[in-house]
Each structure stands twice: as structure tokens, then as C-alpha cells.
Chain A
Amino acid sequence: MTAFLQQIFSGVATGAIYASIGIALVLIFRSTGIANFAQGEMAMFSTYIAWQLSVWGIPLAVAALGGVVFGVALGILTERFVVRRAETGPHLNAVILTFGLFLIFNQSAAVIWHSTSQRFPSLVADHMWKVAGIHVSSGLLLMLAVLVVESAGIYVLLQRTRIGLWMRASAANPESAALVGIDVQKVLMLGWGLAGGFGAIGGILIASRTFLEPNMMSGVLLYAFAAIVLGGLTSVFGAVVGGLSIGVLENLVGTYVSALGPDLKAVVPLAVVVLVLLVRPTGLFGVPERARV
């Protein structure tokens, strides 16, 4: 039983990472309808920046902050100079465009920092507590803390500030939003920036838990997508719930379903996506799509 609880707890911690990337995906998807397949790579690149800064001797906290700021800037620049030009064309182009960005970020990281994996320093001093038989490490606590802060932050931003109102208005109805004087383009740019920041946080968390490597995000991206499908694609809250659920499920399947084991647990997100589509296509917190014919 303790082992079971332990697995659930570690799953929640991994899920916090998926939730982080999932929030980033949702922020972009709900405002532009684009599934950003480069999100994971942008996060990885920002994480490398943080790592590089810390290697140059900058204190880790500042370096991590630098990585997040870089992520925000990368998101803004990507929207302004690349994605904006594809928004008017066919939707297929916008999706393929994000694969182009995927290649650019993934492969330039490999060119600059090579494909060997790097150790990312621990963000907090290692410490282990034992609560009711469950091992709780400082690293896992940090992940949960970050997720709570992130969720609270994004909630306050979207629901309690003027900028959040603009963002919600632009996502709900861009034409009307523009008519009441909202600069929709700027809001989209901001959305991409925020997404870049959230992605960077997720990237730094996962690198500090495992390692830093140009291909480290391809699996994570899949889990994060599964998380937002489960959560309903447009709901930030859904992304958090979905991320945590997928994290727990992944951990349990990896431990207890020996036919799959740690190698094949990548089928978990796939199964979740298929199941959600069959049973409840709008996800847990999504709004059903209505089209007038």
C-alpha cells in the first residue's frame, strides 16, 4: 500500500511537469487554434540557456529566471516574426509551420550544445522526509509548489486582471474584441510569450529531475498533449488536472503493468487520447464545438 501511494505521489510530481507544458499548449491553442508542436523544443532551448548561464557562474536561481525570461522572449519573437504570417493562410500550414520550428530549435540545440546529455544542477538542496511511510523529497515538493504557484498565477491573470480579460475576449471572439478596441495581435503575442515562459519552467523542472538533452521533450510533449486532450484543450484548469492524472497513470502503468514496463509506457498517452475521443470528445472541461452549417 505504501509503495502504491509512493507511486501515486511520484506520479503527481511528474504530472506537474506535464501540466506546466500543457498550460503553455492551452494558452496558444485557445487563442489561435494552433497546436504548437514546437512548444517542447522551445522549452528545451530555454532550459539550455538557463544551464549555460549557470555554467558561466551565474547563481542558479538567477540563471533559471534568465531561462524563463528567454522563453518569454522566444515566444513573443516567434509569434511576431513567424507565426503571425501564417495565421491568414490554410490551417494546415500553421501546423506544419510548428514542425519547422520544432526542427529549428531541436537541431540548433544539438549544433550548439551537442547531443550528449548534461546534468542540470538541483534547484533545491536535496532532502528527504518520510511522511506516513512515503518518501517525500525536496525536489518533488518544489515541483508541486511551482505548479500551485503557476496555477494560481494564471488564474489571477486570466480572471482578475484587465490583460486577462483582453486575452479571454480575444480567444472567445477576435472580431468583436478588436471592435471594442483590444489590440488582438498584441494579446496573441503576449499569449505566446506566456506560453514560452510556462514551457521554460516545465523544461527546467524536468531537466533538474532527469537530465538535459536536445531530444528530452519529445515524449513529454506527447504526454502534455494527452493531458490537454483529457482536460478539454481550451481549459487551463483542465490542463492541470489532465497533467496530474496522466502523470499518475503513467507511473502506475510503468510499475504495475509488466507487459508494458517502463519502455512501452508511451502507449499510455495514446490510449488516453483514443479513449477520451471515444467516450467524451470534449474532454473533462472542454466546451463542445458547435458549428452552424
Chain B
Amino acid sequence: MTTSSQRKSRRGLSRFVGPALVAVALVTPFLVPPYRNYDFSIMFVYGAAILGLTLLTGASGQVSLAQGTFIGMGAYTTAIAVVKLGAPLWVGALVAVASTTVIGFAVGLLASRLNGLYLALLTLALAIVFAPVVKRFPEETGGASGLLIPPARVPEGWPLADDQLHYLIALAMLVLAWSLTRGILTGRPGRALYACQDNPLAAAAMGVNVPLTRAVAFAWSGALAGLAGVAYVVVVGFVSPESFPLLLSVAFLTGLVVGGTHSPWGALLGAAYVQFVPLYTGRISDSMAGVVYGISLVVVLLLLPGGLASVAKRLRRRRARNPA
């Protein structure tokens, strides 16, 4: 039996998990080689994108095959603002997030009238059309050869290398995305999202504007993908039409499901999974990672519906049932 004081102490302990993780993440770039910093930075980018899916798919129950495409939109908007229009990076970032939010909202409005199949089709079409559209306007987008963005430089006199700076920027984006997601999920909007998924009729009867809520979920997820896109530009320094294929979006869905759809922790675990599997399977074949993603997606969906994030919860519950 768990007494209330024990429960309180556990909750007290878990309050420190987040700050402790951030502390570890802040120290890491000074301990590992630059290429690892790059890997982690990409993981943060993926994390922000998958957090968007936690809201969109996990909470509001809408599937998107275009989350990678939304990163692409954010990244291209930033790149065009910086390279073609000469804007500072932060302005490009603001414009990028604003535009992916608006596009997300527009797609969401259209989608709110559709059931799951049509929505999936709509986003599939977006994912497929993205690369040809980018190539269609070579003046602005650099066409098939892409755009090279001058890397963010460390200000004079700071004890930082470029890769460490990029890492820290990406980390800041992720923390921002995380706080947004957590804030939404734990509050009233989160409950409205879950209500729309579980029982739209009951949600409507309780005064939730179902179509608007669904559209707003899309806007949030677009905003987070936009953030991820900005971080992508900072970290990679290059965008091309082929950087954001359909497979990337499906990989994000894999990360979401494998990590766990119902908690922001799941998105982080999923991002780590998506980023680090290819590093181990790459020796066999570049495409081996996709096979592993696919199999793990199917297996987790069928056998462990809560994903990796639910494992800790299950263990804790089991321990609570049979105290040692």
C-alpha cells in the first residue's frame, strides 16, 4: 500500500527529473566529440517534431503524414528569409514558425471536416507535392541544388565551438517545444483534445468546439514542426528538396508510437530511437533502419500500445502492487 506521504515524496522526486535531464544535456556538448553533438542536435530537432505529433495524433487522434514536410516548410522559410532576403536568423525563425502555424491551421480547418482517411490522404499529398513545388521555384528556393545557409557563428570571446552553439540552440528549441506541449496537455486544452478523440459528440455537448479544437491541434503541431525546422537550419546549415521525404514523416510516426503516444516523454524516447537506430543499422544497409522502424512500429503497436514511456509506469505499478 502506498501512503499519501510516500506518493507525495515520489512526486517530489520526479519533479527533479526534468531539471536533472536539462543539466545533463547542458554539460554533454562539452564532453563528447563534435559529431556526437551533431547527432544529439538532430535528435532534438526530431524531438520537437514528434512532440507536435504527440498533440496531433496522440491527443487529438489525427494522423499526419506531413510532419517532416512541415519541418521542411519551416526550414525553407528560415533559409529563404536569411539567404535571399538577408534577414537575421531570429526574424527568419519567427516568420518560419508563424507560417507553419498558419499552414497547419489551414490544413486543420480543412481536415476538421474530414474523417481520418481523408486527412491522411491530404497530408500524404502534401508530403508528395513538397519536393516538386520547391523545385518549381528555383529562383527562391535554389531548386534541386538546395540552399546553403551561413552557419550561426559563436560571438567573439565566448568559450564555445560552433557545434556546441548549434547544439545549445537546438536544445533551447526542444525545451521550448516541450514546455508548450506539457502546458497544453496538462491543462484545459489538452483535456479538450482528448475529448475530441474519445467522444466528439460528448465533447461537443460539453461545449468544446470540436472542429476548431482539431484545427488548433494542427496549428500547434505545425508550430512545433516550424521550430524544429528552424533548429534544423541552424544545425545542418543546408536545405534541399530531398531532405524531407515521406519516409521522414513516417519515421516520426514510428518514433511517436515506439516512444509512447500519450506523454511528452514518449516523444523524447521516440526521437532518440529514430535518430540512433540508423547509426547501428547503417553498417548493413542505409535502408535497414527503415525495416527496423517498420517492424518495431508494428510490434509496439500490437504488443505494447503505450510505447516505451509506459514501461516505467508499468514497472512502478507492479512494484506498488508487490512491495519488496
Give residues of chain B (55-114) contacting chain A, Cβ–Cβ below 8 Å: 57, 61, 63, 65, 110, 113-114
Closest partner residue, chain B, to A108 (CB atom): B291
Q: Does A222 have its Cβ within 8 Å of any Cβ on chain B?
A: yes
- Could you say which of A92, A218, A261 contacts B61, with CB atoms under 8 Å apart? A92
> In the complex, which residues of chain A have a beta carbon less than 8 angstroms from the beta carbon of B251?
103
- Centre residue among A103, A110, A226, A266 by max chain B CB count within 10 A: A103
User: Beyond A93-B305, A107-B290, is A101–B298 a contact (Cβ under 8 Å)?
Assistant: yes
Asked whether, in the complex, the Cβ of A266 is within 8 Å of the Cβ of B129, the reply is yes
Minimum Cβ distance to chain B for residue A210 (Å): 16
- Check A100 against B297 for contact (C-beta < 8 Å): yes
Does A115 make an interface contact (CB < 8 A)?
Answer: yes
Measured in the bound complex, the distance between the Cα atoms of B286 and A108 in whole Å is 11
Q: Which residues of A contact B161 (CB under 8 A)?
A: none
CB pair B297 A266 closer than 8 Å: no
* Interface residue count on the B side (C-beta < 8 Å): 45
* Shortest CB distance A105–B (Å): 8
Interface flag for A111 (CB, 8 Å)? yes
Taking a contact as CB atoms under 8 Å apart, the answer to whether B114 and A277 are in contact is yes
**Cα–Cα distance between A293 and B205 once the two chains are bound (Å):** 13
Please choose the segment from A60-68, A81-89, A155-163, A193-201 that sits at the chain B interface, where 4 or more of its residues have CB less than 8 A away: A81-89
Q: Which residues of A (198-232) have their CB < 8 Å from a CB of B? A: 214, 218-219, 221-222, 225-226, 229
Assess the B246–A104 pair: CB atoms within 8 A. no
Q: Is B118 an interface residue (CB 8 A)?
A: yes
Binding-face segment, B130-138, B175-183, B224-232: B130-138
Whether A102 contacts B294 by the Cβ 8 Å rule is yes
B22 at the A/B interface (Cβ < 8 Å)?
Answer: no
Q: Which of B126-154 contact A (CB under 8 A)?
A: 128-129, 132-133, 135-136
Q: Is A264 an interface residue (CB 8 A)?
A: yes
CA distance A226 to B293 in the complex (A): 28
Contact A222 B301 (CB under 8 A): no
Q: Is A37 an interface residue (CB 8 A)?
A: yes
**CB–CB A266/B132 < 8 A:** yes
CA distance A100 to B298 in the complex (A): 6
B122 and A37 contact, CB distance less than 8 A: no
Contact A110 B121 (CB under 8 A): no
**Contacting pair B136 A263 (CB below 8 A):** yes
Chain A 180-197 near chain B by CB (<8 Å), digits 1 or 0: 000000000000000000
Give CA–CA (A267, B126) in the complex, Å. 9
Count of chain A to chain B residue pairs whose CB atoms are closer than 8 Å in the complex: 128
Q: Indicate if A4 sits at the interface (CB-CB under 8 A).
A: no
* Residue B18 at the chain A interface, CB threshold 8 Å: no
Set of chain B residues within 8 Å of A221, measured between Cβ atoms: 124
Q: Which residues on the A side are within 8 Å of B132 (C-beta)?
A: 263-264, 266
* Docked pose: A105 CA to B133 CA in angstroms: 27
B2-19 vs A, CB cutoff 8 Å, 1 = contact: the mask equals 000000000000000000
**Is the beta-carbon distance between B116 and A91 smaller than 8 angstroms?**
yes
What is the minimal beta-carbon distance from A46 to any residue of chain B, in angstroms? 17
Asked if B41 is at the interface (CB within 8 A of a chain A CB), the reply is no
Is B294 a contact of A104 with CB atoms below 8 Å?
Answer: yes
Contact B128 A103 (CB under 8 A): no
Whether the Cβ atoms of B287 and A110 lie closer than 8 Å is yes
Contact of A96 with B by CB under 8 A = yes
Pair A222/B128 contact, Cβ less than 8 Å: yes
Cβ-based interface call for B170 (8 A): no
- Any chain B CB within 8 A of the CB of A35? yes
* Bound CA span A254–B132, Å: 13
CB distance from A39 to the nearest CB of B (A): 12
B-to-A contact residues, CB < 8 Å:
57, 61, 63, 65, 110, 113-114, 116-118, 120-122, 124-125, 128-129, 132-133, 135-136, 201, 246-247, 250-251, 253-254, 257, 284-291, 293-295, 297-298, 301-302, 305
In the A-B complex, the 7 residue pairs with the closest CB atoms: A107-B290, A103-B294, A104-B294, A100-B297, A110-B287, A270-B125, A100-B298
Q: B-contacting residues of A (Cβ < 8 Å)?
A: 35, 37, 82, 85-86, 89, 91-93, 95-97, 99-108, 110-111, 115, 214, 218-219, 221-222, 225-226, 229, 233, 261, 263-264, 266-267, 269-270, 273-274, 277, 293
